[in-house]
Structure 1
């Protein structure tokens, strides 16, 4: 899926009119995008389940809050590990570098192998996925803002404010959008 990496490593920030409960006010990190579709994880949907319920070895290695995150509505029976690392960091073979500071880690591996090498770890149950042309259609409909990602976005300690913070840091009209009420009919 990496034939056209135009959106890989970018954020999809849901516009207020996107009412699908899976994506209402969601911030999605696009991990891979190409002719065959796109794949990413929702960064601001923590669930009240500690990581150790499904992956006990990883509990002490994930970024706070140390809970699972719902990465999207696809594949909820699987877990995805996303790590952030400085450019040029020598990472073990259990880590698949994707784009910029973002990588996937094999959750069957020993988390100790990442000690001192990564700046953050997040575990997602499920992911967000789009077939060929599907995301492009949603962009044409005006469902998403496409914005630059910062490494801390993927492992923020305060996911509840991520949607507002990402919009606010853009300045201008998007900073104003960040102040809109959650219920779009009130804006």
Structure 2
């Protein structure tokens, strides 16, 4: 994973400036983003650089497919709900796993996310081809995502300028939030100032 790169964007959403895109940060869909792939989504940024673009996973889209159905050897290690999460519209036939370690160690089969924020300092990706036994007891939480979200160089910055995303700090609990359906509101509610009020926006904007 690549390290932090910051882009200062001269744009405001409800009085809050979107200042940086960085590994370990969150993209939170604004109410005006109606793309069905990302509507009311919360995306954890896994890679970002000026020339290679951005890669992340949607944290709040659990599917109806159980891990037991597709990757049964990992079922005992995943954090509930024990289903595949829809990580994004890119390469939906592939799987990406994130896991948190309880200490500063780096177990075999796990690769630390080189994030710019302490909130996800114990988070990393899992090699799903590795034997699950080598990670049993070494990881505290784990989720598996089908597909990912990707943006070409400059594409995400433009979407932010157009008002599609808020860029906010992650909390350690976000990746494995126990009620994914409420994560969008929960992340917005903890933000300072006017941005917290966006959490009250109805699902149907015409009701606002």
Q: TM-score, normalised by structure 1?
A: 0.93
The CA deviation at 1:84 is 1.9
Consecutive unaligned residues of structure 2, counting only runs of 5 or more, are: 7-21, 116-120
Residues 38-66 of structure 1, C-alpha deviations (whole Å, 9 max, x = no match): 00000000001110111111111100100
The CA deviation at 1:2 is 2.4
Match of 1:183 in 2: 204
Residues 14-55 of structure 1, C-alpha deviations (whole Å, 9 max, x = no match): 000000000000000001111210000000000011101111
The CA deviation at 1:69 is 0.3
RMSD: 1.5
1:79 and 2:100 matched: no
Consecutive unaligned residues of structure 1, counting only runs of 5 or more, are: none
Q: SS in structure 2 opposite 1:52?
A: helix
Match of 1:60 in 2: 76
The CA deviation at 1:73 is 0.2
Match of 1:23 in 2: 38
Q: 2:151 aligns with which of 119, 127, 130?
A: 130
Match of 1:150 in 2: 171
CA contact (8 A) 2:109 2:135 kept: no
Q: SS in structure 2 opposite 1:128?
A: strand
CA contact (8 A) 2:108 2:134 kept: no
CA contact (8 A) 2:108 2:135 kept: no
Map of 1:76-115 to 2, 5 A cutoff?
76-86=92-102, 89-98=104-113, 99=115, 100-115=121-136
Aligned residues: 186
Q: SS in structure 2 opposite 1:154?
A: coil
Match of 2:47 in 1: 32
More off after superposition, 48-57 vs 65-74: 48-57
